[in-house]
Structure 1
Amino acid sequence: MKAARYYGNHDIRIENIPEPELLPGTVAIDVAWCGICGTDLHEYLDGPIFVPAPGHPHPISGEEAPVTMGHEFSGVVSALGEGVTDLNIGDRVVVEPYIIRPDVSIAEGEEYQLSSDMNFIGLAGRGGGLSEKVVVERRWVHPVGDIPLDQAALIEPLSVGHHAVVRSGAKAGQVAIVGGAGPIGLLTAAVAKAEGLTVIISEVSAARKAKALATGVADHVFDPTEVDVAAEVRRLTGGQGADVGFECTSVDAVLDMLLDAVRPAAVVVNVSIWGHRPTVDMYKLVMKEIDLRGTIAYANDHAATIKLVQDGKLDLASFITGRIALDDLVDEGFDQLIHHNDTQVKILVHP
């Protein structure tokens, strides 16, 4: 089968590899669509980060580069391994793409995203969504019902946004400031809006500003090259500042703006994956008693996220800005998102 294989920095190759083996307790999935994630771009530009470098196999998967890429994907169940009785061939599904140790519980309330040596399908081995087929453990497979499969490919990044909002402790009626209207910023804003918050977005790209307004995920959008965003947030909140902030850019100036824009004792959640060590104004953090929180991926967020979409509280179709074939992954996918990200939000790949 055809697959996108990560060999190293700026080295992704489309190759033919053997189909994965169906094992007891696993599910075979014909991949329909796979999104290109910001994490994939970080691996391409700055990696390996999550991908195990050659000579350093991942302690759980046992794999090292080259690995098959892709962790934001949807598909159709094509075969069921021995012992899997609660799914049917033909079911539409998405995958929660974790690689964790088999003895780690994923029960409600468990923080399995923080377990030792956690990593992701599509980054640290076990196949990936940028291929024609994938086989995964049953526990990571989530049926999506009648959600269209192209939109369903966005459930994974939407779950990242959902987890970030849950981590923030934000409540309906509060005000959120989101730094950055890339895919994760927009989807985090979408969850916050669906949960009843007033959402303000800071963004410089004209296309992404327009997308934030057109999709209805933002009540206000400000361009930091045109206005003092923190001052505008304070103006809209009677001088108090936002209740919660979300950093979705991995840009130092945006993090600094958020510390200015939130009220005293507010929460700022860092959602982005950083390729460098940021500078943080600790004086602002201390004097305002700001709670700066990290967040990684998700933990039992997929079911709630799927329900938000099924209940009509979120329209994922409007976030898709491109659809390409696997053979065009680098030229029309990665290069577009790297060099023309002002016109793209989410590009989907059809293997």
Structure 2
Amino acid sequence: MKVLRWHGARDLRVSEVPAAVNRDNEVLVQVAYCGICGSDLHEYQDGPHAIPCGSVHPVSGEQAPLTLGHEFCGQVVAVGDHVRGVQVGDRVAIEPEYRCQECRYCLAGDYNLCESMGFIGLMGNGGMAEQVAVPDYMLNPLPDSVSYRQAAVLEPAAVAEHALNQSSLQPGGRCLVIGLGPIGLLLIMLARLRGIQEICAVDVSPERLEKARQLGATSVLDGRQDDLHALLQQLSAGGFDTVFEAAGSQATFTTALQAAKKGGEVVLVGLMGEISLDAFDLVNREIRLQTSVGYRDVYPALINHIAEGRFDPAQIVTKTVDLDNALSGGFDALLASKDQIKVLINPNPSLTEQEYPLHV
């Protein structure tokens, strides 16, 4: 079968490998779409960051070189002997977090904090392939009213939904989203779905600011403005109840802290390394710092929102490509232009041709 495999930084290869085989507790999925995530881009640019090299991941048992892709969906083509409730032909979305199912976090239901935390497509072979073997606990059935194109964006939507769950944001509150990649844009859409009426968005890309406005942001600001802090204070009448930091830099983190009201909160969603903060100011204004990683128990609700027409995550999809064009038309295109937001790879065009044509 054909896959897109990571061998090292700037070394992604479309390769023919032996067909995937599912174990007793796994299903074999024919992949419809697989999204390219910011994590995939980081691994391509200057990895490895999360990809295991030199030793295998404790749950997947795999290491580099491996097939990327954790934002995917498809159709079940084989079912392991120990799998129940799934049959060949079922349409499924994949919740790609590995779970050891034995540590105290998994036993408590906090499986996103598993002591062996990892993601299929980063710590094990993933969905940028014609077929992939998936543990049965990752499966989420799709109703006919949810398209594969929508299901392929469920994973970043789950990240945004979990971040909202981690926050204390309530209807009537004001929120700020800094960083308008896929997660930031989905935060805006899902905040609107929760009844948040005042949503400000900050980014440096005019295209993404316009997209944020289309998706429900009530105000947008270019983050490069010298008077950004004053404008944010004015818009929020002295500070936002909740600020979502979805960019992942020292500058945007500092802006997030400054933009929160006294007694407000900053939710860290973007990935970043060491950062500095003014702890004196943080304490004096009683700012709460909340972090959010992955997701838990959010896929069913998101699927239901889509099925009932309340939420369409496919609005952030800007392009689809086949596996042969995934590097130039996907990874390189995302790095070259902010016009591209979410690019989907389509390893099996015949599976999705009735939904949407392929746009290379």
Calculate the TM-score normalised by the size of structure 1. Answer: 0.93
Among residues 232, 256, 259, which one is paired with 2:254 in the alignment?
256
Measure the CA separation in 2 of the matches of 1:192 and 1:282. 29
The residue number in structure 2 matching 1:345 is 341
Deviations 1:85-119 (A, max 9, x none): 31232222111112221425888962111121211
The residue number in structure 2 matching 1:282 is 279
Q: Is the 8 A contact 2:241 2:260 kept in 1?
A: yes
State the number of aligned residues: 345
1:49 aligns with 2:46: no
1:36 aligns with 2:36: yes
CA RMSD of aligned residues (A): 1.8
- Residue identity opposite 2:69 in structure 1: G
Identity of aligned residues (%): 37
Measure the CA separation in 2 of the matches of 1:205 and 1:73. 27
The residue number in structure 2 matching 1:266 is 264
1:63 aligns with 2:40: no
- Residue identity opposite 1:280 in structure 2: L
TM-aligned CA deviation for residue 253 of structure 1: 1.2
SS of 1:98's equivalent?
coil
Q: Is the 8 A contact 1:259 1:284 kept in 2?
A: no
- Residue identity opposite 2:267 in structure 1: V
Alignment of 1:183-332 (within 5 A): 183-197=182-196, 198-216=198-216, 218-226=217-225, 228-239=227-238, 241-274=239-272, 276-332=273-329
Q: Is the 8 A contact 1:77 1:90 kept in 2?
A: yes
SS of 1:232's equivalent?
helix
TM-aligned CA deviation for residue 167 of structure 1: 0.6
1:173 aligns with 2:172: yes
Rate the CA distance shift 1:308–1:280 in 2: closer, same or farther, 3 A: farther
TM-aligned CA deviation for residue 61 of structure 1: 2.0
TM-aligned CA deviation for residue 307 of structure 1: 1.9
Measure the CA separation in 1 of the matches of 2:192 and 2:9. 37
Measure the CA separation in 1 of the matches of 2:15 and 2:84. 33
Measure the CA separation in 1 of the matches of 2:105 and 2:299. 12
Q: Is the 8 A contact 1:96 1:302 kept in 2?
A: yes
Q: Is the 8 A contact 2:188 2:215 kept in 1?
A: no
Rate the CA distance shift 1:311–1:229 in 2: closer, same or farther, 3 A: farther
Measure the CA separation in 2 of the matches of 1:232 and 1:4. 45
1:131 aligns with 2:129: yes
The residue number in structure 1 matching 2:151 is 152
SS of 1:33's equivalent?
strand
Deviations 1:143-168 (A, max 9, x none): 12121101110000000000000011
Q: Is the 8 A contact 2:266 2:288 kept in 1?
A: yes
Runs of 4+ in 1 over 4 A off after TM superposition: 104-109
SS of 1:15's equivalent?
strand
Calculate the TM-score normalised by the size of structure 2. Answer: 0.91
Q: Is the 8 A contact 1:201 1:220 kept in 2?
A: yes
- Residue identity opposite 2:229 in structure 1: A
SS of 1:312's equivalent?
coil
Alignment of 1:95-134 (within 5 A): 95-104=94-103, 110-125=109-124, 127-134=125-132
Rate the CA distance shift 1:310–1:105 in 2: closer, same or farther, 3 A: farther
Deviations 1:28-54 (A, max 9, x none): 11100000000111111232111002x
SS of 1:113's equivalent?
helix
Rate the CA distance shift 1:202–1:158 in 2: closer, same or farther, 3 A: same
Measure the CA separation in 1 of the matches of 2:162 and 2:205. 25
TM-aligned CA deviation for residue 320 of structure 1: 0.6
TM-aligned CA deviation for residue 236 of structure 1: 2.8
Measure the CA separation in 1 of the matches of 2:119 and 2:336. 26
